[in-house]
Amino acid sequence: MHLFNTEFGIYAGTALVAAFALGAIIHAVRGAGGTAALRRGLATGLVTLVSMMLARLATWACLAMLGGEDQSAALAGWLFGLWPGLIDTAALLLAGKSVLGPEGLMWFATIVGTLSGFFDGLWATHNFKGLGWLSLPLDTTWGLSGTTNGVLLHLVNFAWADHADEPQRGVHRYRQGFRFKSGFAFTQGAVMSGMDGHPPDTPLHDHEHLHVWQNRWFGPFFTISYLGWMAIMLLPALLIPKSGVNAFLRVEWLAYYNNPWELWAYSRGGYRDANHAMAWSVAKTLAFAVPFFCLVIAALVIAVLLVV
């Protein structure tokens, strides 16, 4: 498990040059003059390099703390990527052997950091003034699991979904792109999708922007507790009837609208019918959320203690 080795050196150098060239070409095609295109290319290359190094460093440090075994990699994979955790846990349970392991996880994080940095640099996403400078290191370390899904969203969206040119906002806004339901946006990491007609400082943008910072401040706890809440609410939503409300709506309300992370985001903007038969009040949500969050924290602590 090496932080720096020859393979990484070659990879980092190649990624820096490729990001610089692609950044300059894309901005030249979009109409930037020669010097401006080169400057944007340079910024793309530098942010790519920094993001890649931070993601690799964070994963290396996490693995070093957890012991650097296959089990450590599976746990770190859950915390800082979600998908690698799922893959390695399944592999360990079914075949007794990791697919990624520590070395593979470090490469996974390196590639996620590279792609995230490339899109951030390309669109000059981060504002390095004031507290804005925190967005880049948080996205590529503590918030890496959300950023992993954000990179997937970029890969699905970048060629067709009309990325808004809104530099230094700390977020990406695709006007079109992947979403679960028409009229709803979808945000992963710092990437918002399906946001046509919702520029900065409008209610839905404020809602989605809060999700971006929920991921930055709460990192793996946000991702795991958000998904955990959905999973736990699925069964009661399907099994407990409510007059006049079909099963689909019961799932939507219990798993999504009453999710504490959503209730918080809806307090910032977006429409949630507080008078709906399935709507929970803030007090009721807190009564369920506090013990649930304590359980998630206890589960995470037990998982760490089992591995180290």
What are the residues binding Zn ion (CB under 5 A)? Answer: 262, 265
**How many residues are present in the chain?**
308
Please state the closest distance from residue 211 (CB atom) to Zn ion, in A. 6
Strands 191-193 and 186-188 turn out to be: antiparallel
Alpha helices (runs of H) in 96-202, residue ranges in sequence order: 101-122, 135-140, 144-157
Query: What is the dihedral angle through the alpha carbons of 32, 35, 36, 40, rounded to the nearest 10 degrees?
Result: 110
Please state the closest distance from residue 261 (CB atom) to Zn ion, in A. 7
Please state the closest distance from residue 229 (CB atom) to Zn ion, in A. 13
Please state the closest distance from residue 187 (CB atom) to Zn ion, in A. 7
Please state the closest distance from residue 227 (CB atom) to Zn ion, in A. 14
Between 115 and 265, name the residue whose CB sits nearer to Zn ion.
265
CA distance 56 to 156: 24
The token duo for 293 is 């969050």
CA distance 143 to 62: 13
Between 78 and 222, name the residue whose CB sits nearer to Zn ion.
222
Between 128 and 184, name the residue whose CB sits nearer to Zn ion.
184
| Beta strand segments in the chain, E | 172-173, 186-188, 191-193
Between 60 and 261, name the residue whose CB sits nearer to Zn ion.
261
Between 14 and 267, name the residue whose CB sits nearer to Zn ion.
267
Please state the closest distance from residue 65 (CB atom) to Zn ion, in A. 32
Residue 146: which residues within 8 A CB-CB, separation 6 or more?
Answer: 139, 188, 189, 190, 215, 219, 222, 223
Single out the residue of 66, 74, 153 nearest to residue 112, CA to CA: 153
Please state the closest distance from residue 146 (CB atom) to Zn ion, in A. 13
Backbone angles phi, psi at 242, to 5 degrees: -140, 125
The token duo for 8 is 């990484």
The token duo for 44 is 């793309």
Please state the closest distance from residue 208 (CB atom) to Zn ion, in A. 7
Backbone angles phi, psi at 172, to 5 degrees: -105, 135
Between 164 and 212, name the residue whose CB sits nearer to Zn ion.
212
Between 60 and 257, name the residue whose CB sits nearer to Zn ion.
257
Residue whose CB is nearest to Zn ion in the complex, by number: 265
Between 100 and 233, name the residue whose CB sits nearer to Zn ion.
233
Contact present, 60 and 3 (Cβ < 8 Å): yes
